[in-house]
């Protein structure tokens, strides 16, 4: 047991750091679900953008709270570098989701294509998995974190297949307009990047489980 572990054992637990991470995961999932309404129930891109942006702003506020708390706290429940990294990665998921729906508005995507809808649904499933997994960190249920990380990686692989197939068909279509190619490629890339970020979170959760388990 290292000196930092001994100090953590002796001093009061600063469990509010887990609160920050759990809230960020919730906002990421709520943001993805808000974007899904664009593909599921006829919400316009503008309506979805406004909803996602609200959650993105809420997530930013939690990031600021986390940073302020880290600056004021000597002993944290897990290493402060790990807290900051996971917080940043969760924030990036929501930022990328926001970027995807903003691209839909900017480029005039009135209705998502089938590949876009598939990627949005996969992002919803990824963020749902993260939302379910985050409380496991507080409870030291590290085997559950490893299992959640495996599930996230499987979803990322599914998304990669959808993305590559969609891009291939888009560029092989002899009738595809250049504007359509640019528009669809941009949105698909933004969605794929958001899901890739969830895969990065899977790596972080696995590392935390190994390091602290």
User: How high is the pLDDT of residue 13?
Assistant: 60
Tens digits of residue pLDDT in 17-31: 999 999 999 999 999
pTM, full prediction:
0.92
User: How high is the pLDDT of residue 93?
Assistant: 97
Tokens (6 digits) for 210: 């190994």
Low-confidence ranges of the chain (pLDDT < 50): 1, 4, 7-8, 10-12
What would you report as the CA-atom Rg of the chain, rounded to the nearest whole angstrom? 19
Cβ-defined contacts of 35-41 (< 8 Å, 24+): 35/97, 35/100, 35/101, 35/120, 35/123, 35/124, 36/120, 36/121, 36/124, 38/101, 38/104, 38/112, 38/120, 39/111, 39/112, 39/116, 39/117, 39/120, 39/121
DSSP structural state of residue 81: H
User: How high is the pLDDT of residue 130?
Assistant: 98
User: How high is the pLDDT of residue 7?
Assistant: 46
């Amino acid at each position: 047991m290292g000196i930092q572990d001994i100090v953590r054992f002796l001093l009061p637990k600063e469990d509010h750091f887990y609160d920050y991470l759990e809230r960020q995961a919730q906002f990421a999932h709520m943001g993805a679900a808000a974007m899904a309404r664009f593909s599921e129930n006829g919400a316009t891109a503008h309506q979805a953008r406004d909803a996602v942006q609200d959650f993105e702003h809420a997530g930013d506020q939690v990031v600021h709270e986390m940073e302020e708390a880290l600056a004021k706290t000597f002993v944290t429940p897990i290493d402060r570098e790990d807290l900051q990294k996971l917080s940043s990665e969760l924030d990036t998921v929501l930022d990328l989701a926001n970027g995807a729906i903003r691209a839909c508005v900017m480029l005039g995507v009135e209705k998502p294509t089938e590949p876009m809808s598939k990627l949005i649904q996969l992002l919803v499933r990824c963020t749902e998995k993260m939302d379910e997994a985050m409380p496991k960190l507080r409870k030291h249920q590290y085997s559950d974190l490893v299992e959640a990380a495996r599930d996230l990686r499987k979803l990322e692989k599914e998304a990669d297949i959808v993305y590559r197939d969609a891009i291939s068909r888009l560029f092989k279509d002899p009738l595809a307009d250049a504007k359509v190619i640019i528009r669809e490629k941009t949105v698909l890339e933004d969605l794929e990047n958001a899901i890739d970020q969830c895969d990065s979170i899977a790596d972080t959760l696995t590392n935390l489980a190994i390091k602290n388990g």
